[in-house]
Amino acid sequence: MNNISPNATRYTAIGLVVFGLLFIFFAWNGAAGLDNGVDIRTQFPFLISGGIGGLALVGAGLTLIRVFEGRRDTKEVVRHLERLTAAVECLAAQEEVPAHPSMNGLGSAPAMPPPAPPFEHAS
């Protein structure tokens, strides 16, 4: 699934959810449109074919969305960790930390403030 574009995955998941909701709607509409009163035996085919199938499609779509979002979040965390690792390695070598891309070349990363003095409790 690594070669599939993120938009294709997102649209596939949304399509599954929409089709699942349509299946549920048509199952409800078919069961509600019967003129036989309260005979539940005639409603089972609609429940089984549309209702359960629709729920399965909605569940598959939501699962696909969750997996896609998890992979995207993991890539973002890895990217941040790589930047953090590079910054720590630069500090360990007493070199200047490379500027963050959002600084637009305005200098190095901001310096850390000095540590605060220890808190003394007044008696």
Tell me, yes or no, whether 113 lies in a domain: no
Tell me, yes or no, whether 105 lies in a domain: no
Task: Supply the pLDDT for residue 40.
Answer: 74
Number of domains comprising the chain:
1
27 half-sphere exposure, CB direction, 13 A CA radius: 19
Q: Return the DSSP state at 39.
A: -
Tell me, yes or no, whether 112 lies in a domain: no
The pLDDT tens digits of the residues spanning 70-100 come to: 988 999 999 999 999 988 888 888 655 556 6
CA angle (107 as vertex; 104, 112 as ends), nearest 5: 120
| Domain around 13 | 6-96
The pTM of this model reads: 0.58
Tell me, yes or no, whether 56 lies in a domain: yes
The pLDDT tens digits of the residues spanning 7-23 come to: 888 899 999 999 999 98
Nearest of 44, 16, 11 to residue 30 by alpha carbon: 44
Mean pLDDT value across residues 45-55:
84
